[in-house]
Amino acid sequence: MRMKAAVMYEQGLPAPYADSHPFHIEEVDLEGPGPGEVLVEVRAAGLCHSDLSQVAGLRKRKLPVVGGHEGAGIVREVGAGVTDLKPGDHVVMTVVSGCGHCRTCFTLRPALCQSVTLPRTQGLLANGACKLSLRGEPIYHYSGISAFAQYAITSPKSLVRIPDDVPLDVAAMFGCAVVTGAGSVFNTAKVAPGSSVAIFGLGGIGLNGLMAAKVAGASQIIGVDINEGKFALARELGATDVVNARDPKAVEHVRSITNGGVDIAFEMSGSFPAMTMANAITRRGGEIICVGLGATDAQFQYAHAGLVTEEKSFRGSFMGSCVPERDIPSYIEMYRQGRLPVDRLKSESIDFDRLNVSLDLLDRGEVVRQILLPHGSV
């Protein structure tokens, strides 16, 4: 079929992206689903800081590529052998999908599955297929999803069926922002009632972590950012305190109000200054959960003697250590109950023509989550 999609031909173009146009809106060809594949009509796709990282070239991708890794839509066709989904099902699209039979999948860590990761780094689906093309030349898939398009072919393991009454422009955020932010709290850190936590970076992922910390019963939830425009929303969603990371007394202030430092600091931005501050405001015996991804070759430093003598822990959390078929239905139910008001994070809906401009807004920290509507409406 022919469809509209946002194609990136070059990484590393400079901001403002409204001028450099990293995404070109093209009419591309999409093959129908083969065995073990699903055709999804993409109704909504979220813009994430990971998309900015790809545009900036911090993590290389096979080009040209159709962007987008966080979405929601409606199943329109299934290939042979697909039995757990059917046409008409509403689904969340997520990059986390394992092969189901390797060591990491057996231990419920599908995000670490190398069998799926390798083909995806080559711009292919998990089964090694490439279903996109333009004028006879291949166009590659972004993280096995490519949600910046009107339709997508993907693996059924990348799809989680959801109730039809969940708005799809809200559901899209569960594919990355929610599972990454909330999952880092619930799965990786296992925040206990009464804990004190700090959230570094109050974007879509950070605010989901903040809301999850409230659900988990954290007694102190400190939001940290360089943009004070985000503080009001952070407080409304559960932050007990907010701190400007550029305040020279920020570390002293946090350590003072937490009696020596927080139990757990969540670094959501992949920033070296944020990591340094996260370490500084974490108490002896505390944990720093590293969620944000910077450049592939970025090297962070720490004082090794302090790590040993203070018994701190640095832990990685990729995609919230999530098991999508277990976690997404649970988080969706929390949303329906009003405990995870994910809809509060939606800044605006956009169409393809505003995609590059919207990247600039995200880059400047002026928005939380913008939702691309590939068909012009949900």
Question: Is the model's pLDDT at 343 over the cut of 90?
Answer: yes
Q: From residue 225, give the alpha-carbon distance in Å to each of 57, 90, 187, 222, 269.
A: 24, 35, 24, 10, 10
Pairing of strands 159-161, 90-93: antiparallel
Residue 115, pLDDT score = 85
pTM: 0.95
Chain-centre distance of CA 119, in angstroms?
20
Residue 329, pLDDT score = 97
Q: Name, of 104-108, 172-176, 303-307, the range with top average pLDDT.
A: 172-176
Confidence of residue 347 (pLDDT cuts 50, 70, 90): very high
DSSP character string of 119-155: HHHTT--TTS---EEETTEEEEESTTT--SBSEEEE-
Mean pLDDT for 313-332 is 96
Question: Is the model's pLDDT at 135 over the cut of 90?
Answer: yes
CA distance 189 to 26: 42
Evaluated on CA atoms 142, 111, 170, 37, the torsion sign reads: positive
Residue 101, pLDDT score = 85
Residue 198, pLDDT score = 98
Mean pLDDT for 7-13 is 96
Q: Which residues, listed in sequence order, are joined to residue 101 by a DSSP beta bridge?
A: none
Q: pLDDT tens digits, residue range 39-98?
A: 999 999 999 988 988 898 888 889 999 999 999 999 999 999 999 999 999 999 999 888
CA distance 330 to 339: 11
- DSSP code for 331: H
Work out the percent of the chain whose per-residue pLDDT is above 70: 100
Contacts of residue 56, defined as CB under 8 A and 6 or more positions apart, other chains included, come to 11, 12
User: Could you tell me which of 14, 8, 41, 42 has the C-alpha nearest to residue 26?
Assistant: 8
Average per-residue pLDDT in the chain? 95
Confidence of residue 293 (pLDDT cuts 50, 70, 90): confident
Residue 98, pLDDT score = 86
| Contact by Cβ (8 Å): 95, 69 | yes
CA distance 291 to 184: 7
Q: pLDDT: is 102 or 199 the higher one? A: 199
* Domains of the chain, CATH where assigned: 2-175+341-372 (3.90.180.10), 180-318 (3.40.50.720)
